[in-house]
Chain A
Amino acid sequence: MNIEALLEWVDDFAAVVITTETPDTECLAQSRAILVKIQEEISEGVLPEIEKRLSVCIAVIDKLHHQDEAAKESEFQSLLPYLAEIQNLLRKGKASNRISLSSDTEEEHAVDDDADEESDHFQLPEYVDQEVYKEFLSNFGHVLEEIEQDILLLEKGSASAKADLKRKIHTLKGEAGVLSLDDVEMVCHAVEDLLGENLPARTTTDLLLETVDWMRRAGKRYADFQYPEPRGDYQIAQLKNRNSDATDSPALISETEATYGVVQVSQANEPSADDLSVKDSGNDVIHVNWDEETVTLVGEFLEESEEGLSHADQILMNIDHSGMEPEKVNALFRTFHTIKGVSGFLELAEITKLAHTTETMLDQVREGKYALEGPVLDLVFDSTELMRRMLKAVRAAVENGGAIQKEFGLNAQIHKLNEVIKGRMPEADELLEVAPGEKLGQILLKSNVPPSVIDAALKAQVESGRPLGEELVAQGNVKPKEVSQALRAQRISAESASVKIKETVKVDLERVDRLVEMIGELVIVESMVVHADEIASLASLKVRTYLSQLEKITRDLQDTGMRMRMVPVRGVFQKMARMVRDLARKSGKSVRMVTAGEGTEMDRSMVEQVTDPLVHMIRNAVDHAIESAEVRKAAGKQLEGSVTLSAYHEGGSIVIEIADDGKGLDRDAIVDKAIRQGMIAGGDQLTDSEIFKLIFAPGFSTAAKVTEISGRGVGMDVVKRNIESMRGRISIESEKGRGTTFKLILPLTLAIIDGMLVSCGSEKYIVPTLSIVESLQVSPAMVNSFAEKGELINVRGEIFPLIRMAQLFEIEDGSPASTDGLVVVIEGVGKKVALFVDDVLTQQQVVIKSLGNGIQKTPFISGGAIMSDGTVGLILNVEEIAALVDKRSNKKLENAINATGIRTQTTANAPVSGALNLKREAAMHQVQKENTL
């Protein structure tokens, strides 16, 4: 049997279906016969896809025999989509010549095996220029990022994203083809095919994202001149297999189930069907017999309900702007609930049913099972619209007397609602293509709203002051759903527009760095010139004006230079959004990712550095912090968890905030664990923030079981170290059961640091302002010396180890033993120490410079900076200085002092951190000495 003939049969049958309005028994029998015949021809598991559809069709026809005319007509027509699918499958099979061979999957494997035998080494054809190849690969990652973004937009139902995506994939395909990257080219082609079909959005995006991942890996392999692993064939097979899977489930199965469902219901309850349409078959009216009192009640009901619906529409239209707030969903819920109650009492069964189903769906939204957006939102609009029509029919019946005209579409609507309630999301309507910046009126014009209507609304708007959308709805000329969809289309285009608008030039990063460096030099020379004594003594007003102008331009130049290295955090945030999506999918949790402030700019190199910590923290949030749906339900929370990632400027810093609404940190569990590990003493009174900081301690996380500290702390020491290496800080706020907020406070750029200039003897050092807790004048009474080796300082009851800079740095003209000076309390790696200096001079911004690789190790110094006098200033490495102090011995010591009340000299031989470290250092030197000898 050849495919041509099969195709012909299917075509013929489809023609019959189309032309037959209401099939009679004979027609049905014939149809069944054709289908069975086709089924026989292609039997024996060769084409499982087609078989499946054929059986569905036959089942539908079998049921039809027992049904009434109306049902017969609609059900019969419902065969068409299946027939179309069968035709498609047959045609595809014909094209690939596969149909008479084994099943698709086996063939795919065969290809796969072939690929494995080939060498992994990828040879660039001679006609391809290496430079072009490299250029393509270096750009490849960027292109994939854009594609990924489009995919995520596509999932939200943006039509323009789809077009964009197609275009980008096509370009990629072309480029890959030129460079003979056949695997990528073929995969792109398969993706194009996939985009051409109309699959459920979620399945498509899953496949697409996987493919992007594959391409990313492929790019890396190609960079090493190797073929991708697995090869392109494999990925195409994935796409195709899953592609057909996707058509089976859930779309097809749900439809078949639904078909059976409806059929069975009508069979079982034939005489007293649950919807009125069946009961009054062939009769489109419901006869009512109301007494006067009831009529009054009905009148009131209609009034109230219509008012409620208008309110509901208004809420629905505004949901897209301001997001879904629980009160709004509650208000919607209440509207339908009231209608349900009263209509039930009035025995308006159809209305009750619609209200009930809509209410059930809204309840699920309230529980957070899914968001009220896109197609779900449209569905609620449909419900209000239908409800309004039904109410109108009731009103007509009351006013004119007689029967209530039935509304069509009730069954369909209820069916759609039920689908959602069962967890199957409807397809999003394709939103209109909207150019960025288009006004609502313009968009509506495109969707066939007559200009006169919009003009009228615009005029009325002047008086009422309402937004155009609300005005149009109030006039009753445009459906609220249309307005809402137009608004959504407008928003999506604005979102994608904000990304595209900027034009950029690619510049070698080294050049930018060189420029920034040179600007730095210019700034210093400028300041040297301006502050030179000879110039300062000049009385010329002219020179001064020029100089101040020069100064201003230099500052601006410095500013611009710095900004050249800045990039928005958008890229990282997108990566995180993708990760949350994947993690949530994997863990079976429902998690909503909210991002804010993606446009906030950060130093380029920091963006890279901050990615790792973010990955850790986001993974923690989704994996551990967000509870499973059951637990959340029990705790009375929204079923859908949320992770919010936001970035903003605060003072001279950038703050990145990761907030979840999960279970929060368990304060007591952390304290328990810390006591057991000997990090803190049992009697310690610690503040929340001190306790939460314990989770950053290395080793703490690994030892604590996930359950004991709510899972938080996995890799947290890594996070902390990463952030500190960027000279940033982390703060934690957490409430048990309510969620946790991590704040990463980072400097604007790695190149510049806010520093406090301190002096000791004739030397000057820069202390990073970010790590300074406070600085204060010392009185001799505050200083306690310990065995004449270590010293402690008591600052308002808090005791810190005291480190004398003169001693630490062996500054000859520093005053080592004096108590007359200033103390700067610094904090690093969670430890506070007091640094004794002669004076605190000034605060200033400095550009950090490496001390050059000629110097191998500079303990306690993290870098240098050119000072305004042209000399080099050294920047203290606060972490290293703080690490001098062993936290545990420090704690013990503090406890000892607190317990005995000894506040001054003591000869107890408790280990003193300072002394300990001196000893350790001496020991280390000894070892080094031995090594070098």
Chain B
Amino acid sequence: MSSAGMESAHAEKRAEEILSSGARLAGKYMTFKLADEEYGLEILKVREIIGLMDITRVPKTAGYIRGVINLRGKVIPVVDLRLKFGMARTENTDQTVIIVVQYSNENSDYTMGILVDEVLEVLNIDSGQIEPPPSFGGTIESEFILGIGKSDKRVIFLLDIGRVLTEGDASGLSSLVEA
């Protein structure tokens, strides 16, 4: 399948979009760590950060879905972002937290928890500090990335969390098959 060409074209188009709206991307980001990498979430999509709690496994679902938790009476799913990105699963530490994010997609609101290794800080990133996402040659990551933020020589991948969590369903199916 000659999808690689199409994909890169798609990525370029996205890059243009992002460049043109570079100013839109400027703002506050909540940064967190997965392994040694730093990621950023638009602060407006973060509802709260909660410590690790008992997660009920939901059988027969995608591997990256760790299960569901009780968020003050509401049941929400928790996604292990490491597994989502195809990274190795690690043991939970006392730094492991769940970031509760809220976003809208196609007229419905989603509330989900994402499991990350460590929460860092809230960063203000100017439009000048943001670069368009590089092409990784059609890997899924570039789809999930709004742009790359630079701050004090640190590189922060700014995530399009809605895309990460929603579009993951397709890859979720494939990981279900592999599981």
In contact, A871 and B169 (Cβ under 8 angstroms):
no
Q: In the complex, A856 Cα to B61 Cα: how many Å?
A: 9
Q: Chain A interface: which of B15-23, B43-51, B72-80?
A: B72-80
Q: Chain A interface: which of B87-95, B105-113, B120-128, B131-139?
A: B105-113
Q: Closest CB-CB distance, A239 to chain B, in whole Å?
A: 44
Contact of B112 (CB < 8 Å), options: A517, A849, A852, A861? A852
Which of A843-867 touch B at CB < 8 Å? Answer: 849-861, 864, 866
Q: Closest CB-CB distance, A16 to chain B, in whole Å?
A: 78
Q: Which 4 A/B pairs are nearest by Cβ-Cβ distance?
A: A521-B73, A809-B59, A854-B112, A854-B77
Q: Closest CB-CB distance, A851 to chain B, in whole Å?
A: 5
In contact, B68 and A864 (Cβ under 8 angstroms):
yes
In contact, B75 and A518 (Cβ under 8 angstroms):
no
Given A929-B177, A932-B173: A521 in contact with B68 (beta carbons within 8 A): no
Instruction: Tell whether A612 is near chain B: CB-to-CB under 8 Å.
Output: no
Instruction: Tell whether B70 is near chain A: CB-to-CB under 8 Å.
Output: yes
11 contacts between A and B (CB under 8 A): A851-B75, A851-B77, A854-B77, A854-B79, A854-B110, A854-B111, A854-B165, A855-B65, A861-B58, A874-B58, A932-B174
Q: Closest CB-CB distance, A761 to chain B, in whole Å?
A: 11
Q: Could you say which residues of chain B place their CB within 8 Å of the CB of A929?
A: 174, 177
Which of B35-56 touch A at CB < 8 Å? Answer: 54, 56
Q: Which residue of B lies closest to A519 (CB)?
A: B73
One digit per residue, 1 when the CB lies within 8 angstroms of any chain B CB and 0 when it does not, for chain A 153-190 equals 00000000000000000000000000000000000000
Instruction: Tell whether A873 is near chain B: CB-to-CB under 8 Å.
Output: yes
Which of B126-179 touch A at CB < 8 Å? Answer: 165, 169-174, 176-177
In contact, B75 and A852 (Cβ under 8 angstroms):
yes
Q: In the complex, A925 Cα to B60 Cα: how many Å?
A: 12
In contact, A858 and B60 (Cβ under 8 angstroms):
yes
Q: Which residue of B lies closest to A521 (CB)?
A: B73
17 other contacts beyond A871-B70, A874-B58, with CB at 8 A cut-off? Answer: A524-B73, A809-B59, A849-B75, A851-B68, A851-B75, A852-B76, A852-B112, A854-B77, A854-B110, A854-B165, A855-B68, A857-B61, A858-B58, A859-B60, A864-B75, A871-B56, A929-B174
Q: Closest CB-CB distance, A142 to chain B, in whole Å?
A: 28
In contact, A860 and B60 (Cβ under 8 angstroms):
yes
In contact, B177 and A854 (Cβ under 8 angstroms):
no
Q: Could you say which residues of chain B place their CB within 8 Å of the CB of A850?
A: 75
Q: Closest CB-CB distance, A402 to chain B, in whole Å?
A: 94
Range of interface residues on chain B?
20 to 34
Point out which of B68, B165, B169, B171 has the most chain A C-beta atoms below 10 A from its C-beta: B68
Q: In the complex, A928 Cα to B177 Cα: how many Å?
A: 8
Instruction: Tell whether B57 is near chain A: CB-to-CB under 8 Å.
Output: yes
Q: Closest CB-CB distance, A55 to chain B, in whole Å?
A: 69
A-to-B contact residues, CB < 8 Å: 517-518, 520-521, 524, 763, 808-811, 849-861, 864, 866, 870-874, 925, 928-929, 932-933
In contact, B177 and A852 (Cβ under 8 angstroms):
no
Instruction: Tell whether B115 is near chain A: CB-to-CB under 8 Å.
Output: no
In contact, A852 and B59 (Cβ under 8 angstroms):
no
Given A870-B70, A929-B174, A932-B174: A860 in contact with B59 (beta carbons within 8 A): yes
In contact, B76 and A854 (Cβ under 8 angstroms):
yes
Contact of B58 (CB < 8 Å), options: A849, A853, A855? A855
Q: Closest CB-CB distance, B112 to chain A, in whole Å?
A: 4
Q: Could you say which residues of chain B place their CB within 8 Å of the CB of A856?
A: 169, 172
Q: Closest CB-CB distance, A844 to chain B, in whole Å?
A: 16
Q: Could you say which residues of chain A place their CB within 8 Å of the CB of B170?
A: 932
Q: Could you say which residues of chain A place their CB within 8 Å of the CB of B99?
A: none
Q: Could you say which residues of chain B place their CB within 8 Å of the CB of A854?
A: 76-77, 79, 110-112, 165
Instruction: Tell whether B69 is near chain A: CB-to-CB under 8 Å.
Output: yes
Contact of A925 (CB < 8 Å), options: B54, B58, B177? B177
In contact, B59 and A811 (Cβ under 8 angstroms):
yes
Q: Could you say which residues of chain B place their CB within 8 Å of the CB of A932?
A: 170-171, 173-174, 177
Q: Could you say which residues of chain B place their CB within 8 Å of the CB of A866?
A: 70, 73, 75
Given A859-B60, A872-B56, A928-B173: A520 in contact with B73 (beta carbons within 8 A): yes
Q: Closest CB-CB distance, A654 to chain B, in whole Å?
A: 26
Q: Which residue of B lies closest to A866 (CB)?
A: B70
Point out which of B58, B67, B73, B108 has the most chain A C-beta atoms below 10 A from its C-beta: B73
Q: In the complex, A864 Cα to B69 Cα: how many Å?
A: 10
In contact, B72 and A521 (Cβ under 8 angstroms):
yes
In contact, A872 and B75 (Cβ under 8 angstroms):
yes
Q: Closest CB-CB distance, B113 to chain A, in whole Å?
A: 9
Q: Could you say which residues of chain A place their CB within 8 Å of the CB of B177?
A: 925, 928-929, 932
Q: In the complex, A521 Cα to B73 Cα: how many Å?
A: 5
In contact, B77 and A855 (Cβ under 8 angstroms):
yes
In contact, B108 and A853 (Cβ under 8 angstroms):
yes
Q: Which residue of A lies closest to B113 (CB)?
A: A854
Q: Which residue of B lies closest to A847 (CB)?
A: B73
Q: Which residue of B lies closest to A850 (CB)?
A: B75
Point out which of A520, A524, A854 has the most chain B C-beta atoms below 10 A from its C-beta: A854
Q: Closest CB-CB distance, B6 to chain A, in whole Å?
A: 15
Given A928-B177, A929-B174: A849 in contact with B59 (beta carbons within 8 A): no
Q: In the complex, A231 Cα to B177 Cα: how many Å?
A: 58
Q: In the complex, A270 Cα to B108 Cα: how many Å?
A: 87
Q: Which residue of A lies closest to B57 (CB)?
A: A763
Q: Could you say which residues of chain B place their CB within 8 Å of the CB of A933?
A: 174
In contact, B73 and A852 (Cβ under 8 angstroms):
no
Q: In the complex, A868 Cα to B174 Cα: how many Å?
A: 35
Q: Which residue of B lies closest to A765 (CB)?
A: B59
In contact, A864 and B56 (Cβ under 8 angstroms):
yes
In contact, A855 and B61 (Cβ under 8 angstroms):
yes
Q: Closest CB-CB distance, A750 to chain B, in whole Å?
A: 16
Q: In the complex, A521 Cα to B59 Cα: how many Å?
A: 25
Q: In the complex, A521 Cα to B111 Cα: how many Å?
A: 17
Point out which of B61, B75, B76, B111 has the most chain A C-beta atoms below 10 A from its C-beta: B75
Q: Closest CB-CB distance, A524 to chain B, in whole Å?
A: 6
Q: Could you say which residues of chain B place their CB within 8 Å of the CB of A861?
A: 58-60
Q: Which residue of A lies closest to B112 (CB)?
A: A854
Q: In the complex, A524 Cα to B65 Cα: how many Å?
A: 25
Q: In the complex, A810 Cα to B173 Cα: how many Å?
A: 17
Contact of A518 (CB < 8 Å), options: B73, B112, B165, B171? B73
Q: In the complex, A521 Cα to B56 Cα: how many Å?
A: 18
In contact, A874 and B169 (Cβ under 8 angstroms):
no
Q: Could you say which residues of chain B place their CB within 8 Å of the CB of A873?
A: 56
Q: Could you say which residues of chain B place their CB within 8 Å of the CB of A810?
A: 59-60
Q: Which residue of B lies closest to A809 (CB)?
A: B59
Q: Could you say which residues of chain B place their CB within 8 Å of the CB of A871?
A: 54, 56, 70
Q: In the complex, A932 Cα to B110 Cα: how many Å?
A: 24
Q: Closest CB-CB distance, B61 to chain A, in whole Å?
A: 6
Q: Could you say which residues of chain A place their CB within 8 Å of the CB of B174?
A: 928-929, 932-933
Q: Could you say which residues of chain B place their CB within 8 Å of the CB of A874?
A: 56, 58, 68
Q: Closest CB-CB distance, A920 to chain B, in whole Å?
A: 15
In contact, A858 and B73 (Cβ under 8 angstroms):
no
Q: Could you say which residues of chain A place their CB within 8 Å of the CB of B165?
A: 854
Point out which of A763, A849, A855 has the most chain B C-beta atoms below 10 A from its C-beta: A855
In contact, A517 and B61 (Cβ under 8 angstroms):
no
Q: Which residue of B lies closest to A517 (CB)?
A: B73
In contact, B111 and A852 (Cβ under 8 angstroms):
yes
Q: Could you say which residues of chain B place their CB within 8 Å of the CB of A517?
A: 73-74
